[in-house]
Chain A
Amino acid sequence: MSFTTKLYAATAMTLITAGGAFAENLVIATVNNGDMIRMQGYTDDFTEKTGHTVEWVTLEENVLRQRVTTDIAAKGGSFDIMTIGMYETPIWAANEWLIPLNDLSAEYDADDILPAMREGLSYDGTLYAAPFYGESSMVMYRTDLMEKAGLEMPEAPTWQFIREAAAAMTDRENDINGICLRGKAGWGEGGAFITVTANSFGARWFDEDWNAQFDQPAWKEALTFFVDLMNESGPTGYATNGFNENLNLFQQGKCGMWIDATVAASFVTNPDDSTVADKVSFALAPNTGKGKNANWLWAWALAIPAGTQKEDAAKEFLEWATSKDYIELVAANEGWANVPPGARTSLYENDNYKSVPFAAMTLESINAADPKNPTVDPVPYVGIQFVAIPEFAGIATEVSQEFSAVYAGQQSVDEALEKAQALTNDAMEAAGYR
C-alpha cells in the first residue's frame, strides 16, 4: 500500500468515525400513552434536524416500569433515553443513575419549565428529567347534568358538595353514574387517587418517624367516605376501573363527574372520541376545608441513564421533544388542544392556548399542588400521590389491593386499614426505616 492510499484510507476512517459520532441511533423506552405515540409520528422531524435516528421501545406502563427499573438498577445500558415519572426521578438521581440536565442549551430555556414540574423532577436543586407533559388532577363534570340537577359547581368544591351533586346526578335507569373514580389496584391507579383523597381529609402515609398512619382516624374517614360515595353514585364494578376505564365511561356519557388527570380534559373535549365533548366543564379537585385539595402532580419526563455512550445525542433528543418548537409543531399539525400540556410556562401565556377550554384550570390545578408539603400534618417525604422512596411502589400496590378488595365488597374498611398498617410497617422495617 502506497503512502497516499494509506493517507486516503486514514482520512476516510476519520471521516467515518466522525460521522459515526455525529449520527447516532438512539434507543428510547416510552409508555404507550397518546402523546408519546403522537411524538413517534414526528420522529422524522428530529432526524432531519440532527441526523440522529431513533428506535422506540413502546411498552404498557406497568411493563415499562419493570423494564426500565431492572435495566437502570443492573446498569444494563439497554436504553439511551427512558421515559420516567416524578416518582422515579428523585430516587434514581439520588443513586447517581441519571445524567444531570444542568447544561441544556440557552434556546431550550429550562427556566420556562413550570416551577412545580421543575421542582418535582429535580434532586438537590438539579434537574434530572425533562417533562414531556405534566398533569395534576381536577374535576371534570357534565354541565347539562349539573344543570338538570339544579346545582352549580363552585370553582373549588368540597367533598360534601361532590357527594351531594353525585347523588343528584345519578340516574340508574339511564345508566348515568353521578361520579366515576379510580378503584383499580396499583399504586399509580387507585392508589394515587385514594392517597390524594386522604391528603385532603388530613391523613398521611407516614408520620415524621416513618410510622405508617393507617390506624389514624383521618384514613378511616377518607376511605369510608370514598366507599360510601362510590356505592351511592359510582358505577358498578368500580373496583377494577382505572384511568382508561373511566375515560371510556365518561366519553360514552355514563358519568356525571370524573375526578382524574388534567390531561384527560383533551380527550373528553375531543368530539372525535367523546359523545359529550361540548358539555364538559372543569373545577379544582375537592377538599374538606383543611387546606389541601385532593389533586396530585405528575409528569412523564425524559431522562438519560448515566453511563450511556450517546449522551450528547440523547440530550439533543430530549431538548427537541420537550422544546417550545415541538409544541408549535404539534399545534400546527393537530391543533392547540392536542399539544403536550403542563410542562412549560410559555404555553399557558400563549394566546392561542388560552382559548383552549381546560388550559386555565389545568394550570391552576398544577399550581395548587405542592409536592414538598403534600399533607395537612408534616411528613418526612416528598410527593403528593406517592412517597418518593424506593419501597413505595411495592407497598402502595399492596395497600391499594387491600383497598380494592374493600371496593369490591370483599372486606371491611377496618380490615383493610389494619392489613395496610401491618404490611406497610413490615416493609418499612425490612427496608431499615424503623
Chain B
Amino acid sequence: MARAVTQQRKIINTTAAWVIGLLIFFPILWTILTSFKTEATAIADPPVFLAFDWTLENYTAVMERSNYAKFLWNSIIIAGGSTILGIIIAVPAAWSMAFVPSRRTKDILLWMLSTKMLPAVGVLYPIYLICIKLGILDSRVALVIILMLMNLPIIVWMLYTYFKEIPGEILEAARMDGASLKEEILYVLTPMAIPGIASTLLLNFILAWNEAFWTLNLTAANAAPLTAFIASYSSPEGLFFAKLSAASTMAIAPILILGWFSQKQLVSGLTFGAVK
C-alpha cells in the first residue's frame, strides 16, 4: 500500500516537474527551433513547431556577416580572465575572514557587497576617460579588470562561506606539522574547498559572460565580446526573427553547454552560506 502511494506520488511529481521544467525552458527551445526556420516560417500563423524545412541559412548569414570566432574568443578571455583574477585576489581575503574573524568581518563583507550598488551608467564618462588615459580603451585588459572588480564582492562572499564550513582544526593540525601559511592555503585549504571554488568560478563566469553594459560601452573592434555581437542583430530592417534567433543561439550556446555539463557542481556548491 505504502509502496503504491509513493509510486503514484512519484508519477505525479515527475509529471509536474517535467511540465514546469519544459515550460521554463520553452523560450530557449523556441529560440533554437526558430533559428532553423526561414524568416517567413518564423512568423507563420499558426506557428510551426517541428514540421518545417530545417535550414542552416540563418547561421550561414550570421557567420558571413560577423566574425563570430573573434567575439566568442573575447567573451571567453574576458569572462575567464576576470573570474580567475578575482579568485586569486579573493582566496586570501576569504581565508582571513573565515579563519581570523574580527568584529568587523561582517561589516567588511556587507560593505564589499554594497560597492555593487553604484549605478554604472553614472560613471561611464569617468571610467571612459580613465581608460583613454591608460590607453586600454577597447582592450580585453580593461574589461578583465572592471568585471573582476564588479564580481569580486560576490567571489569573496562565496569563498568565505565555503571556507567557514571547513573545520579550523584541520588547518591547525597542518600548522602543527610545520606548514607555512602559503602551504596551508595552497595544499590544505584549497583542495578541501575545490567544490566551492568550482561553483564560484562557474557562477562568476556566467555573470561576467552576461554583463552587457561595460562590455558594450568600452569596446569597439578589438575587444568586443558576444554582447556586442548581439547588438548588431537586434531590430534591423525587415524580418529578422530567424536571424536574431540564430545569433542568440550562438551567443548563449557556449555558456549553456558549459552550464549543463557543470550543473552538478553548480547545484551542490551554490549556497552562499545558506546551509548551516
The reply to whether chain A is a binding partner of chain B is yes
* Given A78-B137, A78-B138: A244 in contact with B237 (beta carbons within 8 A): yes
Nearest-neighbour CB distance to chain A for B18, whole angstroms, equals: 34
The reply to whether B237 and A34 contact each other, CB–CB distance below 8 Å, is yes
Q: Is the Cβ of A70 less than 8 Å from the Cβ of B220?
A: no
Chain A residues, Cβ within 8 Å of B221: 27, 55-57, 78
| A279 at the binding interface (Cβ < 8 Å) | no
Q: Would you call A60 an interface residue if the criterion is a C-beta within 8 Å of the partner chain's C-beta atoms?
A: yes
* Chain B minimum-CB-distance residue to A63: B231
* Among candidates A27, A57, A70, A247, residue contacting B237 with C-beta atoms closer than 8 Å: A247
A160 at the interface (CB under 8 A from B): no
Cβ distance A57 to chain B, nearest Cβ, rounded Å: 5
Contacts of B217 in A (CB 8 A): 66-67, 70
Chain B residues in 8 Å Cβ range of A58: 65-66, 232
Most chain B C-beta atoms within 10 Å of own C-beta, residue among A32, A66, A79: A32
Residue A119 lies at the interface, judged by CB distance under 8 Å to chain B:
no
Chain B residues within 8 Å of A248, by CB: 43, 238-239
Interface string of A20-47 (1 = CB under 8 A from B): 0000000101001110010010000000
How many residues of B are in contact with the other chain, CB < 8 A?
27
In the complex the two chains form, what is the Cα distance from A75 to B231 in whole Å?
Answer: 23
Nearest to A275 among chain B residues (CB) is: B40
Q: Is the CB of B233 within 8 A of A74?
A: no
Contact with A70, one of B124, B233, B238, B240 (Cβ below 8 angstroms): B124
Closest B residue, CB atoms, query A78: B220
Which residues of A (55-95) have their CB < 8 Å from a CB of B? 55-61, 63, 66-67, 70-71, 73-79
Choose one: B124, B129, B233; the contact of A32 (CB below 8 Å): B233
Tell me if A325 is interfacial: C-beta within 8 Å of chain B: no
- B6 part of interface (Cβ distance < 8 Å): no
Confirm or deny: B260 has a beta carbon within 8 angstroms of a beta carbon on chain A.
Answer: no
Interface of chain B, main secondary structure: loop
Complex Cα spacing A243 to B236, Å: 10
Knowing A40-B65, A74-B129 touch, does A57 contact B236 (C-beta < 8 A)?
Answer: no
Contact call B220/A27, Cβ cutoff below 8 A: yes
Of the listed residues A40, A63, A70, the one surrounded by the most CB atoms of chain B closer than 10 A to its CB is A63
Q: Point out the residue from A29, A55, A273 that lies within 8 Å of B238, measured CB to CB.
A: A273
A280 to B124, CA, bound (A): 47
User: Is B68's CB within 8 Å of the partner chain A?
Assistant: no
Q: Is B228 interfacial (CB-CB < 8 Å)? A: yes
Cα–Cα distance between A25 and B137 once the two chains are bound (Å): 17
Do residues A244 and B216 form an inter-chain contact, with CB atoms below 8 A? Answer: no
A60 touches B236 (CB 8 A): yes
A32 touches B132 (CB 8 A): no
A77 and B238 alpha carbons, distance in the complex (Å):
32
Residues of B within 8 A of A226 (CB): none
B87 close to A (CB within 8 Å): no
Q: Is B224 an interface residue (CB 8 A)?
A: yes
Residue B234 at the A interface, CB < 8 A? yes
Alpha-carbon separation in the docked complex, A37 to B206 (Å): 31
Contact present for B234 and A244 (CB under 8 Å):
no
Q: Do A32 and B138 touch (CB < 8 A)?
A: no
Interface size class of A (residues with CB under 8 A): 20 to 34
A282 at the interface (CB under 8 A from B): no
A-B contact count (CB 8 A): 80
A267 at the interface (CB under 8 A from B): yes
- Cβ–Cβ < 8 Å partners of B25 in chain A: none
Q: Is the CB of B231 within 8 A of A60?
A: yes
**Which residues from B are CB-within-8-Å of A55?**
221
Per-residue interface assignment for chain B, residues 189 to 209, with 1 indicating a CB less than 8 Å from any chain A CB and 0 otherwise: 000000000000000000000
Once the chains are docked, how many angstroms separate the CA of A34 from the CA of B239?
11
A266 to B125, CA, bound (A): 40
Q: Which residue of A lies closest to B229 (CB)?
A: A58
Kindly list chain A residues whose C-beta atoms are within 8 Å of the C-beta of B43: 248
Nearest-CB residue, chain B, relative to A273: B238
Known A27-B221, A67-B216, A76-B128: A59·B231 in contact at CB below 8 Å: yes
Asked if B102 lies at the interface with its beta carbon under 8 angstroms from chain A, I say: no
Given contacts A57-B220, A59-B228, A78-B137, contact A244 B65 (CB under 8 A): no
Which of A27, A33, A40, A63 sits near B236, CB closer than 8 Å?
A33
**Complex formed: what's the CA distance from A32 to B243 in Å?**
13
User: Please, which residues of chain B bring their CB within 8 A of the CB of A40?
Assistant: 65
User: Which B residues lie within 8 Å of A57 (CB)?
Assistant: 220-221, 224, 228
Per-residue interface assignment for chain B, residues 230 to 257, with 1 indicating a CB less than 8 Å from any chain A CB and 0 otherwise:
0111111111100000000000000000
Asked if A247 and B128 sit within 8 Å, CB to CB, the answer is no
Chain A 253-277: CB-based contact to B (< 8 A → 1; otherwise 0): 0000000000000010000010000
Pair A37/B236 contact, Cβ less than 8 Å: yes
CA–CA, A57 and B232, complex, Å: 8
A33 to B138, CA, bound (A): 24
Residue in contact with B220 in the complex, picked from A29, A243, A247, CB distance below 8 Å: A29
Cα distance A79–B128 in the bound complex, in angstroms: 14
Highest count of chain B CB atoms <10 Å: which of A27, A29, A67:
A67
Assembly CA distance A77 to B124 (angstroms):
16
Q: Give every chain A residue within 8 A of B236 (Cβ-Cβ).
A: 32-34, 37, 60, 244
Q: Which of the listed residues B124, B128, B232 has the most CB atoms from chain A within 10 Å of its own CB?
A: B232
Please give 19 more A-B residue pairs, beta carbons under 8 A apart, in addition to A55-B221, A58-B65, A244-B235. Answer: A27-B221, A37-B65, A57-B220, A60-B232, A60-B235, A63-B216, A66-B217, A67-B220, A70-B124, A70-B217, A71-B128, A75-B132, A76-B131, A76-B132, A78-B138, A243-B237, A244-B236, A244-B237, A244-B240
Q: Nearest 5 A-B pairs (CB), nearest first?
A: A78-B220, A58-B232, A55-B221, A27-B221, A32-B236
8 A/B residue pairs, CB under 8 Å, sorted by A: A37-B236, A58-B65, A59-B231, A78-B220, A79-B220, A248-B239, A251-B238, A251-B239
Task: List residues of chain B with CB under 8 Å of any chain A CB.
Answer: 43, 65-66, 124-125, 128-129, 131-132, 137-138, 216-217, 220-221, 224, 228, 231-240
Chain A residues in the interface with B (C-beta under 8 A): 27, 29, 32-34, 37, 40, 55-61, 63, 66-67, 70-71, 73-79, 243-244, 247-248, 251, 267, 273
